[in-house]
Structure formats: structure tokens, C-alpha cells
Amino acid sequence: MAVAELTSPAASFAHNYNNAHRLRSSQLYVPSSSCLSSDHFRAIYRSRVLPRITCSVNQVQNSAPVQVETPKDKAECYGVFCLTYDLKAEEETKTWKKLINIAVSGAAGMISNHLLFKLASGEVFGPDQPIALRLLGSERSIQALEGVAMELEDSLFPLLREVNIGIDAYEVFQDAEWALLIGAKPRGPGIERADLLDINGQIFAEQGKALNAVASPNVKVMVVGNPCNTNALICLKNAPKIPAKNFHALTRLDENRAKCQLALKAGVFYDKVSNVTIWGNHSTTQVPDFLNAKIDGMPVKEVIKDDKWLEHEFTEKVQKRGGALIQKWGRSSAASTAVSIVDAIKSLVTPTPEGDWFSSGVYTSGNPYGIAEDIVFSMPCRSKGDGDYELVKEIQFDDYLRSRIAKTEAELLAEKRCVAHLTGEGIAYCDLPEDTMLPGEM
């Protein structure tokens, strides 16, 4: 849980290009953060005694423990990023915006391997937005995380000013303004859905506590690790200082898949498809909404006059697209998931086109659709480009759409009961439907 001070950036760079700052865990015991206030936790964290470590790619040497002062503003950085100059003093950066901190969990995984380079390139936040990446891994993945940092070094992204890596969320999430929570345990053979909810729920409860303690008070949180809706609920319940509205569960990939299928059926390119909503859970109960969707500005049902296809084949293709991809590819989607994370962030930091909207799993408090309060439910959103959003009010409903929404709502309420012990709402009990599955589960 502790972080070790390494040799200074300048000396490390002179001695060996790879002798750079890296976060490492030690055996120092710190009481659980659930028992401490954030100020108390920080006091312990900043005053602890840490081992001095000299790092290279191939070896780690320990010397006698020394008293270390934690840097005031940021965690230790990686490699060449430790030589970051003062942006204010650089002539070429005078038009750049203020640097922002982006934390990513599961940063050594396949999704992150696609996502991080999009973030660093300026594709997501723009060509004038410098960023600092804070990458969270595990003890097993720390070497892979170093490899990711090395690739980011070698890519020479001018906007990427800092890279910090570590295995302690309280260190990595420090001052994060965006937190992209990707890391989660996949559902394997013999793991019941209730067990998966508990295993991953504990991860997101702890990450919620860490965000609450050390992240920016207005941090925007995107939960990708599954089951993402309920993981987002657990996370926000453990981060009471952060507005619940700031938490999102990723359903943008489902929206993108729905647009693809509608475009194929209508014989148009997918940029003609708009106003697509994914309602509810990121599971096989999700509801791709064709009633309100449009193709080239016309209602889908006026373009595709095949209700049977829309209600059955289209809906099931979107719900089960992840499983179909696994059968072909042999593994779950990574690149398209990374693209959908980019799309989801861009929808929050750029104004929504007039008359259109996007899907995101958000907290249901005060929603205008009659959906149960206090769950995370995918709904249609609009943004002014300031990182915030509002729910779309001009939505049509029919009996088919409402019946499907009720089914996915019931599933999310059941999941909520299953994780009550992680949200501070009492003793958990699970009465999940037998057929509840994530896209891609077989």
C-alpha cells in the first residue's frame, strides 16, 4: 500500500534511461480507510517510513529505511515524464489549457492498451489539452504497467506531460479529474452472477472510498468494469463527497452496436442514424430503443417497416453482440470498447448536436420517465460540453418499450438488493433472474 521513493529523475536518467520513478508496494500496514477520515489517512500516508529503492528494468535493490516526504502536489512519475518542465515557461505551450489528471484502473489490460494512446494523442480532450495519466494496476500487473508506460514514452506524445503508475488507488487517484474504472474480474466458469457482483463490487467500493478521499471533488467517473451499472452504484455510494450525477456506467458500446445494425438494415452509412437510446442495464435485458431513433432525420419505423425484425432480430443482435464477437474472435471486445469510452467522454466535453442525444448509465434520482429511483440506469442524455449532462424529456413510449424497460429495471433492482452490504443499505440477499447475463457471457 505504501509508495517507495526512488532515485532522483535527473540522476536516474544520466545513469540509465530506465532508472526512473515507479510506484512500488511495501509491507507497511495502514488501517483500513473505512476506519479513518480522509485527513487522518493522508496524515498517516505522508508521515510513514518508506524503503529507498533503486530501480532498473532488471533489478531492485533495497537499502536502509529512510524518512521520506511525499511530494506535495503529485505522486512519483515514470521515466522521462519525471523530467516534465514547467509548462508555463514553454513558448510552444502558451495556448494550451491547464493540465488535467486522468486516472485509469485496469491500465495494463487490453481495453486500456487501445484507450491510453487515444487519450495521449489529443483525440479525446483536444489538441490543446495537456494531460497527466495516473495508471492503476495490481501486484501481478506492475511489470506490464511499466511496459505500457515505456510505450507511452516511446510514442512522443507532446500533450502527455506526466505518467504515474501504481497499485494503490489512494496514491494513483490523487487529484484525479477523470477516473476511468476499467479493471474488474471477468466472469469465468462456475462463477455465479451473484458472486461476480460481490467480487467486483468490493473492488468498486474500495475505489469509491479512494476517490472520495483524494480525487478532485468534481471528478467525473466512468465505470466500465462489469457489471458496470451496479458497480457504478456501489462506487457512488462509497463516495458521498462526489456528486452522484458525476458517475456513469458505460453503455455507449451498446448504442454504437445498435446504430450499426440499424444502418445495415436501412442500407445507409451509420452517420445517418441518430437519437438512439439504450435503456437500462448493460446486460441481455438492455433495451435498444428503435421507437425514438431516427435514420436521416426520419423515425426508424418509417424507414424500416418491419416490426418483427425490430422487436426480435435487431434487439437480440444488440443484446448478444458481445457473445457473437467472442465466438468469432476468441476474446471479448477491447478496441471497440475503447472507442466507445472515447465517444462517451467526448459526448460530455463537446456540445450535443442539436436535436440529438446519447446513452449513458446514470443515477436515476429525479428522472422524468418513472423509472425506480436510486439505481444506475442507461437513459438518453444531452450535454453542453462542460462535462455535465441533462436527461432528455421529449421521449415517446409505447407498451412494447415500457414492458421491456420494466424488465431491465427489475433486474437492476435485484442486483441492488444483492449488493446492499456494499452500499451501506443493510444485509444483502440475492433473487436474481436465472437468465441474467452480461453481453458476451455464454
**Per-residue pLDDT tens digits for 37-71:** 444 444 444 333 333 332 322 322 333 333 434 43
| Position with higher pLDDT, 48 vs 132 | 132
* pLDDT (0 to 100) of residue 55: 30
* 437 part of a folded domain: no
The answer to the question of residue 319 being in a domain is yes
* Same domain (yes/no): 58, 187: no
Strands 49-50 and 66-67: antiparallel
Lowest mean pLDDT, pick from 302-306, 321-325, 416-420? 321-325
Q: What is the pTM of this model?
A: 0.82
Do 235 and 262 have their domain in common?
A: no
pLDDT of 314 > 50? The answer is: yes
Give residue 365's pLDDT: 97
207 and 356 co-located in one domain: no
Decide if 384 is inside a domain.
yes
Residue 29 lies in a domain: yes
Question: CATH number for the domain including 356?
Answer: 3.90.110.10
Look at residue 399 in the predicted model and tell me its pLDDT: 97
Banded model confidence at residue 340, pLDDT cuts 50, 70, 90: very high
CA distance readout (Å), 407 to 44, 144, 402, 440: 47, 41, 9, 19
Q: Count the domains in the chain.
A: 3
For residue 432, being part of any structural domain is answered with no
Residues 208 and 303 in one domain: no
Q: Is residue 442 part of a domain?
A: no
Residues 268, 415: one domain? yes
Helices (H), 77-227: 110-121, 142-154, 169-172, 193-214
Check residue 46 and give its pLDDT: 39
Q: Which domain holds residue 10?
A: 2-70
Answer positive or negative: Cα dihedral of 134, 140, 142, 146: negative
**Residue where a domain stops, chosen among 223, 246, 269:** 246
pLDDT at 211 over 60: yes
Residue 301 has pLDDT above 60, yes or no: yes
User: What's 120's domain CATH number?
Assistant: 3.40.50.720
Within this chain, do residues 86 and 136 fall inside the same structural domain, yes or no? yes
Same domain assignment for residues 169 and 262: no
Q: Do 111 and 176 fall within a single domain?
A: yes
Q: Are residues 286 and 415 in the same domain?
A: yes
Residues 284, 378, single domain; the answer is: yes
Among 66-80, 329-343, 381-395, 403-417, whose mean pLDDT is lowest? 66-80
Q: Contact, 18 vs 56, CB < 8 A?
A: yes
Longest Cα–Cα distance of the chain, Å, equals 76
pLDDT at residue number 37: 42
- Measured CA to CA, the distance from residue 375 to residue 390 in angstroms comes to 17
Q: Give the catalytic positions in this structure.
A: 282
Amino acid 185: pLDDT: 86
Inform me whether the pLDDT recorded for 260 exceeds 50.
yes
More confident residue, 38 or 146: 146
Split at pLDDT 50, 70, 90, the class of 75 is low
Mean of pLDDT values over 245-268:
98
**For residue 431, is it within any domain?**
no
Q: Give the pLDDT mean for 233-251.
A: 98
Going by C-alpha positions, the residue among 294, 280, 322, 288 that lies closest to residue 414 is: 280
The verdict on 19 and 110 lying in the same domain is no
* Range in 183-197, 222-236, 254-268, 362-376 the model is least confident about: 183-197
> Quick one: pLDDT at residue 57?
29
Distance CA(171)–CA(389), nearest Å, equals 29
- Is there a single domain that holds both residue 38 and residue 110? no
How many Å apart are CA 300 and CA 292, to the nearest integer? 8
177 contact partners, CB below 8 Å, separation of at least 6? 100, 101, 102, 215, 216, 218, 219, 220
Contact 28, 1 (CB under 8 A): yes
Summarised one tens digit per residue, pLDDT across range 355-370 is 999 999 999 999 999 9
Question: Could you tell me which of 177, 252, 171 has the C-alpha nearest to residue 207?
Answer: 171
- Please give the Cα distance from 10 to 82 (Å, whole number): 8
In a domain, 438, yes or no: no
